Each structure stands twice: as C-alpha cells, then as structure tokens.
A and B are shown apart, each in its own frame.
Chain A
Amino acid sequence: MLVLSAIIISVIPAILIAYPIIKKIASSASTPDDESSLQADLERRWESALEGIRHAELEMSVGNIDEPDYQWLKQVHMAEAAMVLKALEISIEDEKSLIEKISKATAIISPKSSLEVDYEKDESD
C-alpha cells in the first residue's frame, strides 16, 4: 500500500515536469510581449503621464491645488506625454527604415516580398 502510494505521488510530479518539455507547450505558443521592451516602457510612461494630467485635473476640480500649480502640472505632464509620442514616432520611423532596408534586400531575391505588401497596405490606411 505504502509502495503503491509512494509510486503514485512520485509519478504525478514527474509527468508534470516532463510534459512541458516533451510537448513543447510554451515554445509552440506565440511569443509573449517582453515586459521590459522599449514599447512596454513607453506604454508605462504614456500611462503615467496621462494619469498625471487626470490627477491634476481632479485635484483642481476638488480644490486641492491652486491655478498656477495646476497649469504647471498639466504642462509638465503634457510635455512628458509628447515626448513619448515623439519617441514612438522615431521608433516607428526606425521600424519603417528597417522594413525598407529588409524589403530592399529581399527585393533582390524576390521582387514581391510579403513584407513589402504588408507595409504598403499599412501606409494606405
């Protein structure tokens, strides 16, 4: 009885451990977003800037802060949010130029690469 139960309780974890490796469940799924990527970082900063604007408006409407402080806070957070958008634009341009480079390179091999098609479709929006 003891032996049997011992076998049972050791087999279950063994299966649990082996299963993900044998079946490759994680690597067959799509790659998750990297939480420390530039995009994710910009997103967090974007959110905190917008949160700052909202917060300033809330404080102002409640009467916690005076007009000059409000103007200053709003201005500062707007500037921060603008910075994020600018960075985003640059990164998009980076990506554009990257895609262009890749498509130029691939165009030599096959004139109608899928990347090119996608890129143009996006541009038309």
Chain B
Amino acid sequence: MVELGQIALILSFMIATYSTVVGFAGGMLNGRDLAASARWGFYSICPLLLLATASLIYAFVTNDFSVIYVAENSNLAMPKAYAWVAFYSGNAGSLLYISVAFSIMAGIAIRVVNKKLPYTSPYALGVMSLVLLFFLAVILFLANPLDRHQMPLEDGQGMNPLLIHFGMFIHPPFQMLGLISVALPFSIAIGALLAGRGGRDEWVDQGRLWGMLSWLLLTTGLLLGAWWAYTILGWGGYWAWDPVENSALMPWLGMTAFVHSIMVQKRRGMFRMWNMVLIIVSFAMAQMGMFINRGGPVPSVHSFAESTMGWIFLAVMAVTLFISLSIFIYRYDTLRSRSGLDSMISRESAFLAQNVLFLLIAFVTLWGTIFPIFSEAVDDTTMTIGQPFFNKVNGPLMILLVLLMGIGPVLPWRKAGWGSINKMLRVPLIVAFVVLLSSLISGINQYWVLIAFSVCSVSVTTVLQEMISGTKARHAHGEKWAFAFFSLLGANRPRYGGYIVHLSIVMLAIGITASSFYDVQKDVVMKPGDSEVLGKYTFTYIEVSEKSFPDRLEETAKFEVWSGDKYIGYMYPYRAVYPEFQIAATRGAIHSTVLEDFYLVPSEFMEDGEAVFRVLINPLVLWMWASGPVLVLGTLVSLSPNSRKHRKRVRLPSMNMDQNPLEMAK
C-alpha cells in the first residue's frame, strides 16, 4: 500500500510538471488541445494524491511503524480516529495534506475558470500546476511521509498531546486550506495578466469568487484556532499574537482587503493595479504563513510542524514575489484605470482607505513578528514582542476599521453630497451617542471600550437601517413584511450578504473588546471541600480523581457550581501529564451563557488533592463563537448567484446586429 502511494506521488509529480509546461505552452501558442491535455492531466493528479493519502492513513490505522512518519506521529495507544489528525500533524504529512487539498480545489476552480475565461485558463492552470509542483517536489525530495525505516519499530513516539483535541480535526485542515487557497485567485489574476490583451476586468468575477472562498476558509481557520486555544490551552485566552497566529492573520488581512477592492474594479473599472498588487502580496503573506509554521526563524509555541525547510519556503516566496511583480510591470500599461475618482467622499475612497488600513495592520503585525530577527541582526539580542505591543498598536487601528465598516457601505458610489451623508449617518450617529451614554451609565469607564462600543453601534445601525428601509420600500409596494425582507436580501445578494458578514464582525469585535478589557481572573488554592466565590459564582471543589493511561496521567477535579441561587451543576476541569513529552495539557471547564463564560482550569495539583485553580469570568465570549456561523452564512449569501428572476441581465447586442437596440429604436 505504501509503495503504491509512493508511485502515485512520483506520477503526480511528473504530471504536474507536464501540466505546468504544457499549460503555459497551450496559452502562448493558443493551442487549445494542448491546454485541454494539460487540464485533463491536472484532473488526474487529484485521485493519485488521494491514493497516496489513503496509503498513509492506512499505515497509521494498521500501526505500520516501519514508515518513519507514522512512527514519529503516532503510537499504539493513539485512538484510531486520530489517524486523520496524525496525518497532517507533522511537517511531511501536512505538505501532503496541502497538496491533495489544493489539487481538489484547483481542479474545481480550473474547470469553472475554463468555462468563463477560456483564454486565461491555460495560464492559470500553468500557475496552479506550478504551485502544486513545488509542494510535490518538496515532498518527494525533502520530506516524504511515506519513506520507510530500515529497521521496523515496535511502537511509535506518539502524537503531540496538545493536538489530541476535537478542534484539531477541523482547525488545522481549515487553516492550511485557507493558506493554500489564496493560490487560486492568485493564479487566476496572474493568468489574466499573462493572457491579457484587453480591458483587464475579465478576471474580476472569478477572482472575487475564489478570493471570497479563500477568505472564508482563512476566517474559519482563524476562528476555529481561537476556539481551540480557548478550550484547550488552558489559560483562558484565545489569541496571543504569537508569530504563527500572526502569520495566519496577515494573509487574512490581505484577502479581506482584496475581496473589498475587487468590488470597485467590478463596478467602476478602477483599482486594477491595486487589486493585482493586493493578490500578489496576499499570496506572498500566505507563503510566509506556511514558512513560519514550518520552523522559520521566529520562535513560536505553535510551530508543531518544525523543520528547517521554512527557508525553502522563504526563498520560493521571494522568487514568486519577484516573478509576479515582473509580470505586473510587464503588463503595467494594460492596467490603467477605466475612470478616476469623482469625489473625495465616496464609496470608492472609503474602500481605498479601508484597503490601506488593512495593509497597515498587516505591516505592523509583520513588523512585530519579525522584530526578533531585526533586533538580533542589529543588536545581537532576540527581543520577542508580545501581546501588549500588538494590542496597543493594532487595537486602535482595528477600531478605525470597524468605524469605516460602518460608514463605507452607506456612502454612495461615485459621489456623496452632504445631503445624502446627512440622510444616512444621522441615525447611526444618534445611536452611537445613545450607546455611549448608556455604557457610561452602566459603569464602563475604559475609554477604549467606550470608543469601540460606540463605533460598533454605528456599524450595526447603518446595516440595520439599510435593511429596514429596504424592506419598508418593498413593503410599500405591497409585499408582506417577511417576504419583503427576504426578497430584499435575495435581490442583491453580494450587498446584503456583505452586510451580514459585517454584523458578524461586529459581534466578534464586541466579544473581543469586552473579554479583553473586562475579564476577571483569579488564582485560588483549594483543598477538597473548600468553597470560593467569584462574582455571582460560588464553586465548591469536591474531589480529584486520578486516572492512569499508558501515555498519560489524568487528574480530574470535580466542582459543584452555583450562579447566584441557580444551581448550574458539576464541572470537570482536568489536567493531563504526558511524561514522555514533558507536557501538561489542561482542559478548562466552561459554563457559557450569552453574557459571560465561567471558566475553571487547574494549573497545579499538589499533595492531598490540594490544587491551584485559575478561575475566570470572560464576558461576551459566546458572541465571538456565534459570529462564526453568521459570517459563513453571510459569505455564502454574498457568493450565491442572483436568481434568474432578479438577474435582469441586459445583454448588449452582438456584432452581427440581430436584436440591435439601436436599430429597434429607430
């Protein structure tokens, strides 16, 4: 089985080489048969890589420890379901995962692109094949998960215990999927650049589609990662501005800018160069993300897939950046905007400001992340920069973004007179003021929180105002309220889908603000039988039970918890010690309500069951997790094509002059 997987890998490598060369050749020679051949070859890579994956998972399930990768990442004690997690938990396996996932996504993408953009598609295919080729080359020559030992082992080393968590089934796959999927809009953009002869807007619809899908995957990956950190890393937080987290955030920032500014190109034929630059930079940042995760130069707790090949990724990133920018400059002349800016105050300029702000945050994040390298080079001291710096610098910038998110969508395209601005912003500003007052009344005294909440309320109100007045207008035409609302959403999905996403971002922002400024944390030493009080919560430590497993020792505490007079029940936070790894994994017990989370986590067990517990009250955290599904929903609404009834697409008369409106008008 493993040997068959190896053969499949080698074959995929050969086919990817073929598809790259023939794809570009097909584009340049306008050889449509060549392009089709390259494309069909590319489709066949996917089943081959699935075969290689299946053979690796089979090796995990059958405990074939003669395979080095299996021996390094699993052992006999590992539950069989974790074969899937073990598959991508190490460096070599995660590369295979990325390849197989990319081959599937790119296969689907190129099929669609080929229908819509027949002249761009051979080049896009060439770029995609090249990306895949790189990963396959790294797998085959540097980190092959299917390589065997000379001497078979009795038992493997086992998987990093921090990874044994339900969240690991979905967070890393999404994160890696998100990072690599940036290559899809990138390939389409570069393909259009290479193929380009004319207007430069032809790739916009496809770029937006795949860009948004990629954005969705990145966002999901980030949220799941935060959720995973919150429930397992046992310190009660969810984001620590760690290098790996930052490097996943940067491409997200770039892609968020991209999915917005691509709309300007679609509507106005502007920002053509800017979009090219954005997607090129985003892809570079995605490569950087994979680079830092793979044993890059910056110390991080997350670099689970450690190896020295980070440097290869860095080199490839530099080459990619160089080549794509060269192509960009080569085609520079075709990228001039169709029109300019009509007014300083308009949707377009709001988009521009938002874009620059996103890039600024990405840059500051990058700066803080690579600062250790900088200080090492200049001063010989590795100064690590942590959470406080990022909070102080990025926090205000992000509040500014949320403000723009409130104002931007209500500015009309092209030009906003003061009359319109007054109409749109009067109510939101009143609401913001009311919210400011009511937060002051309810005792919020941190001025950042006051600002953040007021700004959030502007965003919420503008979106609600849009939805309400739109529904009202439809209702006035005789539609029932509910019907009016849904047909409003249906009639302009990109727009209202975007609004839903904006609402989810506000939920996220409120959750982050509240939980980072008004969280309460207390360390308590308790003996079994002790009771403590934190806020309205009374919790009694009843007992601790120990359970020994082959690989770990689990100590589970039992708590009885009351919230005021309300009985909540038992909570079981636990801590597991893995002697082989010298790692302790704690799992908090969380009681979530709409308003706050009550979070219990053991930090140390001592003699006689005496233990140190960390107790936290984190306000509004549930809203952050709830924003995820809302965000996915909004993105899907926004991506779904308008139904035929609403489309009303008016085709221009074709050159052969049948149904020419000019003729008809005579």
B-binding residues in A (CB < 8 A): 2, 5-6, 9-10, 12-13, 16-21, 24-27, 32-48, 50-52, 55-56, 58-59, 61-69, 72-73, 76, 84-85, 88-89, 91-92, 95, 122, 125
List chain B residues, Cβ under 8 A from A122: 656-658
Query: B621 contacts the other chain (Cβ, under 8 Å)?
Result: no
Q: Are B420 and A65 in contact (CB under 8 A)?
A: yes
List chain A residues, Cβ under 8 A from B651: 43
Q: Are A125 and B412 in contact (CB under 8 A)?
A: no
Q: Given the known A-B contacts A6-B4, A68-B419, are A84 and B40 also in contact in the complex, defined by CB atoms under 8 Å?
A: no
Q: Are A46 and B650 in contact (CB under 8 A)?
A: yes
Closest 6 CB pairs of A and B: A41-B199, A66-B419, A36-B198, A26-B32, A20-B36, A13-B44
How distant is the Cα of A75 from the Cα of B11 in the complex, in angstroms?
60
Q: Given the known A-B contacts A6-B7, A39-B654, A73-B414, are A16 and B41 also in contact in the complex, defined by CB atoms under 8 Å?
A: yes
Q: Are A36 and B420 in contact (CB under 8 A)?
A: no
How distant is the Cα of A32 from the Cα of B36 in the complex, in angstroms?
13
Q: Are A43 and B120 in contact (CB under 8 A)?
A: no
Given contacts A9-B48, A32-B119, A48-B266, 4 further A-B contacts (CB under 8 A): A46-B650, A59-B412, A61-B473, A72-B417
Q: B interface, by DSSP: helix, strand, loop or mixed?
A: helix
List chain A residues, Cβ under 8 A from B37: 17-21
Please provide the chain B residues from 5 to 20 with a CB less than 8 Å away from any CB of chain A in the complex.
7-8, 11, 15, 18
Q: Are A25 and B43 in contact (CB under 8 A)?
A: no
Q: Are A64 and B420 in contact (CB under 8 A)?
A: yes
List chain B residues, Cβ under 8 A from A33: 118
How distant is the Cα of A39 from the Cα of B419 in the complex, in angstroms?
38
Q: Are A62 and B469 in contact (CB under 8 A)?
A: yes
Query: B653 contacts the other chain (Cβ, under 8 Å)?
Result: yes
Q: Are B423 and A63 in contact (CB under 8 A)?
A: yes
Which of A5, A13, A19, A66 is close to B420, meaning CB atoms less than 8 Å apart?
A: A66
Residue of A nearest to B653 (CB): A88
How distant is the Cα of A84 from the Cα of B470 in the complex, in angstroms?
31
Which of B51, B192, B202, B660 is close to A9, meaning CB atoms less than 8 Å apart?
A: B51
List chain B residues, Cβ under 8 A from A68: 417, 419
List chain A residues, Cβ under 8 A from B39: 20
Q: A interface, by DSSP: helix, strand, loop or mixed?
A: helix
How distant is the Cα of A27 from the Cα of B33 in the complex, in angstroms?
6
Which of B3, B116, B473 is close to A2, meaning CB atoms less than 8 Å apart?
A: B3
List chain A residues, Cβ under 8 A from B118: 32-35
Q: How far does the Cβ of A46 sit from chain B's closest Cβ, in whole Å? A: 5
Residue of A nearest to B39 (CB): A20
Q: Are A9 and B4 in contact (CB under 8 A)?
A: yes
Residue of B nearest to A18 (CB): B37
Q: Are A73 and B198 in contact (CB under 8 A)?
A: no
Query: B338 contacts the other chain (Cβ, under 8 Å)?
Result: yes
B38, B43, B651, B660: which has the most chain A beta carbons within 10 Å? Answer: B660
How distant is the Cα of A6 from the Cα of B653 in the complex, in angstroms?
54
Q: Given the known A-B contacts A9-B51, A85-B662, are A69 and B652 also in contact in the complex, defined by CB atoms under 8 Å?
A: no
A6, A48, A66: which has the most chain B beta carbons within 10 Å? Answer: A66
Q: Are B8 and A9 in contact (CB under 8 A)?
A: yes
List chain B residues, Cβ under 8 A from A24: 33
Q: Are A38 and B198 in contact (CB under 8 A)?
A: yes
How distant is the Cα of A119 from the Cα of B413 in the complex, in angstroms?
42
Chain B, residues 624-655, CB within 8 Å of chain A (1/0): the string is 00000000000000000000000001111111
Residue of A nearest to B419 (CB): A66
Residue of B nearest to A63 (CB): B469
